[in-house]
C-alpha cells in the first residue's frame, strides 16, 4: 500500500491522520459528556439526547440568521453567543422535561427509555413543523472555514481545532463543577446514596433537575459546535445517538473519566481502521471489539463503587 510514496508524504499523512483521530476523539467526548452526566449520575437513559443537540444547532442557525440580517458587522463573533444561547435553550428544555416527565419515572429505567424515545419523535416533528423538513444551512463565520497549512502537506482543519479546544474547555468546566462546586458534591452524594443524601438535607429533587438540565445544556453546546462539521436537520440527532451511547456504555456508565478513555479508544481504533480498511468495515470491526470487551467487562472500562 505504501510502496509508491516518499517518506515525507507518509510522515505528513500519518500526522494528519493523527489529527483526524484527535478531532474524532473531541467530537465523541463532546457529544457523550452530556449523556454521561445524565445516564451515569442519574441512571436515566435519555434517548432524546440527539434532539437536545439539534436544538442547540437550530439555536445557532437562528442566531446566525439574526446576526447576518441585523448585526452583520459582528457576524464573525456570533458563534460564541450562539453557543451560550444553545446551552440555555437546551438546559431550559431539559429542566422542563425533567419536571414534566422524567421525575415521575425514576426507578423505572425501561419506562424512561420509552418515554424519552417518544420525546425524541415529538421533538423531531416539532423541528420539522417549525423549520421545515429540509436541512437548514448554517452560515458560518469566515474564520472557522478552511485549514491551517503547517507544511506543504500537513493541513489542519480549523473547525477541528475549534472543536478540540471547546472539548477541552468544557471537560475542564465539568470536572471543576463535579469536583469543586457544592452542586457537584451534592450530585455525587445523591449518586452514591440517595436516601442518605436526602437525610443530610440535600434537596435531591432539585439536584436531579439541575443535573438533567446541565447534561442537556452540554448537549446543546455540542449541537451548536457540530454545525461546523455536520448537518442541521430535524433528524440529524439520530446520526449521533448510537455513537454516543456506545462511548458512554463502553466507558462505564457512572464515570466521566471512563467516558473520556472510551472516547479515546473508540475514536483512535475507528480512525486508524478507516484509513486501512473501508468505512463500513471499520465500523463493523469497532462494534465487534466493543461488544467483545463488554462481554468480558459488562460494567465498562471504569466504574466507581456505588452503594445500592
Partner 1 sequence: MSDRKTRSFEILRRKLLVASLLVPTVTLAPSLTWAAPKTADINSTGLAVTDKTVTVGILHSVTGTMAISETGSVQAEKLAIEQINAAGGVLGRKIEFIQEDGASDWPTFAEKSKKLLVNDKVAAVFGCWTSASRKAVLPVFEQYNGMLYYPTFYEGLEQSPNVIYTGQEATQQIIAGIDWVVKNKGAKKFFLLGSDYIWPRTSNKIARKHIEKLGLKVVGEEYYPLGHTQFNSVINKIKLKKPDVLYAIVVGGSNVAFYKQLKAAGIDMTKEAPTVLTISVTEDEIRGIGGENIEGAYAAMKYFQSLTNSNNQEFVKAFKARWGDDIVIGDVTQAAYLGPWLWKAAVEKAGSFDIDKVRAASPGIELMTAPEGYVRIHENHHLWSKTRIGKAKRDGQYEIIYETDDLIEPDPFPAGYQ
Per CB under 8 A, residues contacting partner 1 are 5, 9, 13, 16-17, 19-20, 23-24, 27, 125, 128, 132-140, 145-147, 149, 153, 155, 157-160, 226, 228-236, 238-240, 270-271, 274-275, 278-280, 282-283
Of 250 and 302, the one with the shorter C-beta distance to partner 1 is: 250
CB of 272 to partner 1, least distance (A): 8
Of 13 and 304, the one with the shorter C-beta distance to partner 1 is: 13
Q: Helix (H, G, I), strand (E, B), or coil: what is residue 149? A: strand
CB of 235 to partner 1, least distance (A): 5
Measured in degrees and rounded to the nearest 5, phi and psi for residue 297 equal: -125, 80
Q: Which helix or strand (DSSP H or E) is residue 107 part of? A: none
Can you tell me the distance from the alpha carbon of 245 to that of 194, in angstroms, rounded to the nearest whole number?
25
**Cell, residue 115:** 418515554
Please report the beta strands in 88-168, taking only residues with DSSP state E, as ranges in sequence order.
147-149, 155-157
Of 15 and 177, the one with the shorter C-beta distance to partner 1 is: 15
Decide if 265 contacts 273 (C-beta within 8 A): no
CB of 6 to partner 1, least distance (A): 11
Of 13 and 177, the one with the shorter C-beta distance to partner 1 is: 13
7-35 and 256-276 are packed helices; what angle lies between their axes, rounded to 10 degrees?
140
Of 136 and 207, the one with the shorter C-beta distance to partner 1 is: 136
Specify the length of the chain in residues: 308
CB of 226 to partner 1, least distance (A): 8
**Cell, residue 128:** 420539522
CB of 307 to partner 1, least distance (A): 39
Amino acid at each position: 500500500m505504501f510502496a509508491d510514496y516518499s517518506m515525507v508524504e507518509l510522515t505528513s499523512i500519518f500526522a494528519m491522520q493523527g489529527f483526524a483521530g484527535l478531532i474524532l476523539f473531541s467530537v465523541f467526548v463532546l457529544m457523550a459528556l452530556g449523556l454521561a452526566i445524565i445516564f451515569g449520575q442519574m441512571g436515566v437513559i435519555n434517548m432524546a439526547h440527539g434532539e437536545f443537540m439539534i436544538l442547540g444547532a437550530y439555536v445557532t442557525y437562528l442566531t446566525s440568521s439574526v446576526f447576518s440580517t441585523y448585526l452583520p458587522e459582528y457576524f464573525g463573533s456570533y458563534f460564541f453567543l450562539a453557543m451560550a444561547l444553545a446551552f440555555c435553550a437546551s438546559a431550559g428544555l431539559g429542566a422542563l422535561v425533567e419536571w414534566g416527565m422524567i421525575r415521575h419515572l425514576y426507578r423505572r429505567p425501561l419506562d424512561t427509555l420509552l418515554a424519552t424515545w417518544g420525546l425524541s419523535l415529538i421533538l423531531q416533528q416539532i423541528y420539522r413543523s417549525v423549520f421545515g423538513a429540509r436541512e437548514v444551512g448554517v452560515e458560518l463565520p469566515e474564520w472557522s472555514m478552511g485549514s491551517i497549512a503547517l507544511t506543504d502537506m500537513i493541513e489542519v482543519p480549523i473547525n477541528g481545532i475549534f472543536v478540540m479546544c471547546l472539548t477541552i474547555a468544557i471537560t475542564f468546566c465539568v470536572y471543576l463543577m463535579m469536583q469543586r462546586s457544592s452542586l457537584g458534591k451534592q450530585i455525587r452524594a445523591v449518586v452514591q446514596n440517595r436516601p442518605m443524601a436526602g437525610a443530610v438535607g440535600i434537596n435531591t429533587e432539585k439536584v436531579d433537575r439541575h443535573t438533567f438540565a446541565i447534561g442537556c445544556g452540554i448537549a446543546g453546546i455540542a449541537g451548536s459546535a457540530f454545525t461546523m462539521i455536520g448537518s442541521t436537520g430535524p433528524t440529524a440527532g439520530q446520526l449521533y445517538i448510537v455513537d454516543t451511547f456506545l462511548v458512554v456504555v463502553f466507558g462505564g456508565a457512572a464515570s466521566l473519566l471512563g467516558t473520556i478513555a472510551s472516547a479515546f479508544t473508540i475514536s483512535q481504533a475507528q480512525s486508524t481502521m478507516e484509513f486501512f480498511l473501508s468505512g463500513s468495515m471499520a465500523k463493523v470491526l469497532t462494534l465487534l471489539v466493543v461488544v467483545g470487551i463488554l462481554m468480558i467487562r459488562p460494567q465498562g472500562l471504569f466504574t466507581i463503587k456505588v452503594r445500592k
